[in-house]
Amino acid sequence: MEVKEILKNKGPKVWSVQSDDTIRDAITTLVKNKIGALLVFDEKDKMVGIISERDIMRECFHNAEKYASTPVHKVMTKKVIIGRPEDKSDYIMGIMTQNRVRHIPIIADGKLHGLVSIGDVVKAQLQDSQYQIQYLKDYICG
């Protein structure tokens, strides 16, 4: 399955924060929307990073007293791994596993198409497997 099919099922909605927002702002958005990561944009609406629950936990550990008022840009991951709509789900899963990331923005022609999580990819892989199993059962049984 290609990533564009995952996004077609999931939808293009992507939650984000501004780079100068606080960690408290990021946590509020994560919790309200029951998600694990946010894309980070600057004042010109350019994607400049991604912040995950993991990034926030590290900041809490290192700066327990003042983490909530820390700006997102000081904690976010700046080198964002991106995917393309044509990428296969197993390729994206491999990239996520190899780089120990759980979210990848999907970009084509300079435009953000969506954000896929490891959960989205695993769900797509399971659906593919179920279709293949059913096809083989039908083929074997006649």
What pLDDT is attached to residue 124?
Answer: 87
Q: What is the pLDDT of residues 18-30, one digit of tens each?
A: 999 999 999 999 9
Strands 47-52 and 37-41: antiparallel
Q: What are the structural domains, with CATH classification, of the chain?
A: 3-141 (3.10.580.10)
- What pLDDT is recorded for position 37? 97
Alpha carbon of residue 82 to chain centroid: 9
C-alpha gyration radius of the chain: 18
For 86, the 3-state DSSP assignment is coil
Q: What is the pTM of this model?
A: 0.86
Task: Calculate mean pLDDT across residues 87-91.
Answer: 94
Give residue-wise pLDDT tens across range 97-134: 999 999 999 999 999 999 999 999 999 888 776 666 67
- pLDDT given at position 112: 95
Is residue 74 scored above 90 in pLDDT? yes
Between CA 7 and CA 93 the distance in angstroms is: 15
